[in-house]
Structure 1
């Protein structure tokens, strides 16, 4: 009989906490463990480096696993920048600065939710630095019409809400409000619920309830980098389609994700030609937490000799 992994608090020293500076001098927090080729894992919203607490032990025997907090999240700095400083391009630059600071020439990038968008941006900006991409339910530009369809558009209400100062006024610095709000997404977006349980949620709330933390996390949305404005821009023809991403890629799709259901994977080959797709029927949006074994297999397939 299998047993659930022991929960290790994210503040525990055994995770190997480090800090470094990005190219603009802002502090980046990360944890690191394992030996081998570099694997850098990029978290989602609502999340942080701890999204990968179950994946990291599976990869440590074969990889040097680096888990950064993106700018504005967790233990990383929340600088008072224009929202463009929190955009997809800016976050991709932070990831490249992490690689530089750690002396990593090339890495497999892992991402889901906003982390998948940032990983893809890094692969566009610096394909020579990326061995491959292992992604959970990535936003697929070809799915833009599905996202904007009246029967699905309501799933993205939170992205409109995040544009409002009211979001900060109601939630920022209020632990009970943070717990209620983030807990909604864990329950609604998640499929396999056990790893999204009380201990993990409590750690997440502790990080997001610090005054200013919740508002900083909204800068991703306020920068126009989230899926909704991207889909709207594509529908309007405001920007030409981005070229394909040429690095090898493996995608794990949680079919129980109400935000990005399985139909959203159709046409993904236009962005990720030749990708390998694994569909998991009982997994939702939080792929690294819900399906760490399956995601670890995807990562291993991209490593040398995989």
Structure 2
């Protein structure tokens, strides 16, 4: 399948929550588009003027997770927020969810859009793809920002899922004790997640956000409805599982990367800051890890002003 893109302007009169309507609701002349790249269809939203900045989201969200920061970034940059392979408006193929292949999706998309070099900021799964992009396409990468997550590495095999006495599995917005990432294991299962969650994904959405956000209202009722709709179909759940089921291959791939030379900024919530501060200097030779105070894992929603400030400073030409 050739690398082609097409763009459509969302109608300002739409009142639904389609991607075109959501794109049109943002200041900065954002448009909804699609790219046929690497054998699949990738959805993106772009707007603004200046040097390109790609925004790559994570589970269980879509490009919309960046809607609070996109208008400000678009005042200085061409902003392209992408639904990863399997996410939101993008296609949901059976295979290809290792981060190296997903980085190829993004590389071919940037080429199809006419960009030889790009800056990338990724959150969660998107951060893993951003790192893989820099490792595999260094000449196409200016700088990357990893938001609260690093590329999979072997310590994932030692993660504890059983909390010791006095530690609850359910976190709270006021606590920074460890989160027991049971969904890492749950998403490894074939078939069962679709059977349990199809049409009921909102239950998981609310649990994840309410148990981790410092301010649960930071991800609104409307936002949650958008994400729940994006993941409620069996194919969408299966595709999201694929990002986790390929962690083993991602860990193998990372052993060949060594330290990347691309400048890296990491924006860490309070829980993950110690982990990223220790790990990332082993993965990149030019790295700064910044702690975002009063932030959970969902940094762009908890502290959008801080994220905008950091990204504009980091990506400044």
Bucket of the pairwise TM-score, normalised by the shorter protein: 0.7 to 0.9
The DSSP-based 3-state class of the residue aligned with 2:181 is helix
| TM-score after normalising by structure 2 | 0.80
- Which range is displaced more, 42-51 or 205-214? 205-214
Higher fraction of helix: 1
TM-score by length of 1: 0.83
Q: Distance in 1 between matches of 2:46 and 2:107?
A: 16
**Cα distance change on mapping 1:279 and 1:239 into 2, 3 Å:** closer
Q: Which moved more, 1:206-215 or 1:46-55?
A: 206-215
- Out of 18, 29, 45, the position equivalent to 2:33 is 18
Aligned pair 1:55/2:66, yes or no? Answer: no
2:273 and 2:193 map into 1 onto residues whose CA distance is: 26
Q: Counterparts of 1:12-161 in structure 2 under 5 Å?
A: 12=21, 13-14=23-24, 15-24=30-39, 26-81=40-95, 85-139=96-150, 144=155, 148=159, 155-161=180-186
> How many matched pairs?
281
1:283 matches 2:311: no
Higher relative contact order structure (alpha carbons within 8 Å, sequence separation ≥ 6): 1
Distance 2:192 2:227 in 1: 22
- Structure 2: give runs of 5+ residues left out of the alignment: 1-15, 25-29, 165-177
Matching residue of 1:163: 188
Conserved? CA contact 1:40–1:65, under 8 Å: yes
Cα RMSD of the aligned pairs, angstroms, is: 2.8
Give me the whole-angstrom Cα distance separating, in 2, the residues matched to 1:47 and 1:118: 15
* Maintained 8 Å contact 2:46/2:80: yes
- In the superposition, relative to structure 1, how do residues 182 and 132 fare at CA in structure 2: closer, same or farther (>3 Å)? same
Indicate conservation of the 8 Å contact 1:140/1:264, yes or no.
Answer: no
Partner residue in 1 for 2:208? 185
SS in 2 for 1:86: coil
> Per-residue deviation at 1:63?
0.1
Q: 1:247 aligns with which of 247, 257, 262?
A: 262
Paired residue for 1:272, among 271, 284, 292?
Answer: 284
Provide the rounded CA distance (Å) in 2 between the counterparts of 1:281 and 1:86.
32
